Amino acid sequence: MDYRLNFDAVWRDFDLLLSGLGLGLSLAVVSIFIGSFIGLLAAFAMISKNNLWRRIAVFYVTAIRNTPILVLIFFTFFALPQLGLRLGKIESFVFTLTIYSGAYLTEVFRGGLVALPVGLREAGLAIGLTEWGTKIWVIIPVMIRSVLPALSNNFISLFKDTSLAAAIAVPELTFYARQINVNTFRVIESWAVASLMYVSACYLIAAGLRLLERKLAIP
Amino acid sequence: MANPLMVIENLHKKFDKMEVLKGVDLTINTSDVVSIIGSSGSGKTTLLRCVNLLEEFHEGRILIDGEEIGYTKKNDKRHRLSSSILAQHRALTGMVFQTFNLFPHLTALKNVTLGLRKVKRMKKEEAIETARHWLNRVGLLNWQDHHPGQLSGGQQQRVAIARAIAMNPKLMLFDEVTSALDPELVNEVLSVIKDLADDGMTMLLVTHEMHFAYDVSTTVIFMNEGKIGEQGPPSELFQNPKSQRLAEFIKNSTF
């Protein structure tokens, strides 16, 4: 075996890799942001007394969590157009990751909600807040703090899932790494650099979320 | 005599098939301090929670200042009102819980201002001023920036009282507010309540502190098996109980 490392080709296109990382981060942020709202609503639906809401939420979470994300990506991108819903590849991927993160975050939020003391909701109602007011000003702020560690894990995991967007040619980090690999045959270099970039990004996200955790911690 | 502040008529409440309130009638006038005593399971706390609309009830009416709260009749059918109207009705009363139930993520000050801002829609400065006034009344102005987790049980309960009374309710409800406290912290909370009673605040309290009930109440109610067993001024009830049940209950209580 005679392989000499040469990173020149990778550095030449490093700005492509960076732009890919940037796109991946943006995809993750947008999807997780919208997915969090879906997750919150579905979590409340899951613990609600209303049978219909509960069933819809359970169906959603079960269906999405038991389908591989790559299948969901292909389904949205290839199958939905057949049904008349044609999305660009970026929109299509954001749609998939949003639905996907919503399902995972539902479980995180639901766990947080059932762990809250009953008295919290009653105290909110007792000062004259409505059910929704109590959720917004009391229940959600307290619950979010308790699930932040679990939330961080999910955020990082969902960010890494953006690498699968390469499968439908969304120009993110994995897509460019493969392009450099194919064009230059610098196999080890391109994938090593891409891996390091994922690791650094995840590390920074984790550090940022830990900082947030500490800032929001309830004394 | 002026119109009563609150009237409870024929209140019935069931948990599944178990009837815990079996027709309670009660009238409270402004500045009355009414203590409810009775053994556990007699329906004391449930009665209080019905008044705060935290429990649904199946029959009867509760009127505050002549207006029925919680329910309305449409085509002869009884309906529970919508969440936003229930919230308005709940704001007529202030509730203090056995387990304090402060908002753990907010400072003492913000525990009090939350309702003022979001329910009363007060301006920030006015809300802070009101909250500081009441925190001062319960002796906790110096603790306004502490979170509930940094306060003792007695202090938490006093913040909870400030939070409820700052909303300017017509009637304060106290649900065994000293039961979860260490014995040495009970008095600081009771003296705050006594202070408010002396000020003319109308109150309905569920309590196990017989001495306190004797001292502070204008009326004492003995609940027995979901009904009001006896009712009267504290001296009459404690010194001349009419029923065997009440006599036994008083004998077995610590003063």
CATH code given to domain A25-170: 1.10.3720.10
**What whole-number percentage of chain A has pLDDT above 70?**
100
Question: Under an 8 A CB cutoff, do A120 and B84 touch?
Answer: no
In a mutagenesis test of the B interface, which of A44, A125, A127, A140 is the best target, namely the one with the most B β-carbons within 10 Å? A127
The whole-number pLDDT of residue B255 equals 65
- Distance to chain A for B236, nearest Cα, Å: 33
Question: Under an 8 A CB cutoff, do B87 and A119 touch?
Answer: no
The average pLDDT across A208-212 equals: 94
The whole-number pLDDT of residue B252 equals 87
Contacts of A219 in chain B (CB under 8 A): 146-147, 149-150
- Distance to chain B for A127, nearest Cα, Å: 6
**Is B110 an 8 Å CB contact of chain A?**
no
Question: Under an 8 A CB cutoff, do B119 and A123 touch?
Answer: no
Provide the domain limits for residue B118. Answer: 101-168
Contacts of B163 in chain A (CB under 8 A): 127
- Distance to chain B for A139, nearest Cα, Å: 9
pLDDT at A197 over 80: yes
Residue of A nearest to B117 (CA): A129
- The β-bridge relationship of strands B33-37 and B219-224 is parallel
pLDDT band (50, 70, 90) for residue A6: confident
Looking at the domain assignment, is residue B130 inside a domain?
yes
pLDDT at A171 over 90: yes
Six-digit token pair at B215?
């001292």
Looking at the domain assignment, is residue B127 inside a domain?
yes
Question: Under an 8 A CB cutoff, do A120 and B54 touch?
Answer: no
pLDDT band (50, 70, 90) for residue A8: confident
A123-162 pLDDT, tens digit per residue, is 999 999 999 999 999 999 999 999 999 999 999 999 999 9
Low pLDDT (below 70) residues in chain B? 1-2, 255
A48 and A54 Cβ atoms separated by less than 8 Å = yes
- Strands laid side by side in the B67-68 sheet: B18-28, B6-15, B59-64, B67-68
The SS3 of residue B30 is coil
For chain B positions 143-162, those within 8 Å of chain A (CB to CB) are 146-147, 149-150, 160
Which backbone phi and psi does B182 adopt, to 5 degrees? -65, 145
Name the residue ranges covered by the structural domains of chain A: 25-170
From first CA to last CA, the distance across chain B in angstroms is: 34
Looking at the domain assignment, is residue B23 inside a domain?
no
Residue of B nearest to A145 (CA): B105
ipTM of predicted complex: 0.93
The whole-number pLDDT of residue A1 equals 65
Number of structural domains (chain B) is: 1
- Distance to chain B for A21, nearest Cα, Å: 36
Looking at the domain assignment, is residue B135 inside a domain?
yes
For chain B positions 198-227, those within 8 Å of chain A (CB to CB) are none
Six-digit token pair at B244?
């065997």
Looking at the domain assignment, is residue B181 inside a domain?
no
- Distance to chain B for A15, nearest Cα, Å: 43
Residue of A nearest to B90 (CA): A128
CA–CA distance, A118 with A141 (Å, rounded to integer): 15
pLDDT band (50, 70, 90) for residue A10: confident
The whole-number pLDDT of residue B1 equals 55
Contacts of B51 in chain A (CB under 8 A): none
Kindly provide the b/e burial profile for residues A58-86, where b requires at least 16 CB atoms within 10 angstroms of the residue's own CB.
eebbeebeeeebeebbbebbeeeeeeeee
